[in-house]
Amino acid sequence: MFEKITVPRILAGRCRLCSPCPSIEACRSKALFRLDEDEPPVVEQAYCQGCGDCAGACPYSAITLKTVKAEVLRDGRA
């Protein structure tokens, strides 16, 4: 089944590699994290609720929200 979902997009060129990253701290679903301190955060889409809190918390507008069509599994994950 396909549904429209909202997903965050990390604009790596705008990311200032803040430490700590307010967007990671704002994510209540623990869907945003860093693989490396020298890299922008990444999103684990399976945990993301599309709430947009991460985008709102970034002082450099390095995270935007995008609506995409995705196949949604029976348990609600995209």
Question: Site residues (CB under 6 A) for ligand SF4?
Answer: 8, 15-18, 21-23, 26-27, 29, 31-32, 40-41, 43, 48-54, 58, 60, 62-63
Are 17 and 38 spatial neighbours (Cβ–Cβ below 8 Å)?
A: yes
Shorter beta-carbon distance to ligand SF4: residue 18 or 72: 18
Q: How far is the CB of 1 from ligand SF4 (least distance, A)?
A: 21
Q: How far is the CB of 69 from ligand SF4 (least distance, A)?
A: 17
What gap in Å lies between CA 23 and CA 17, rounded to an integer?
A: 11
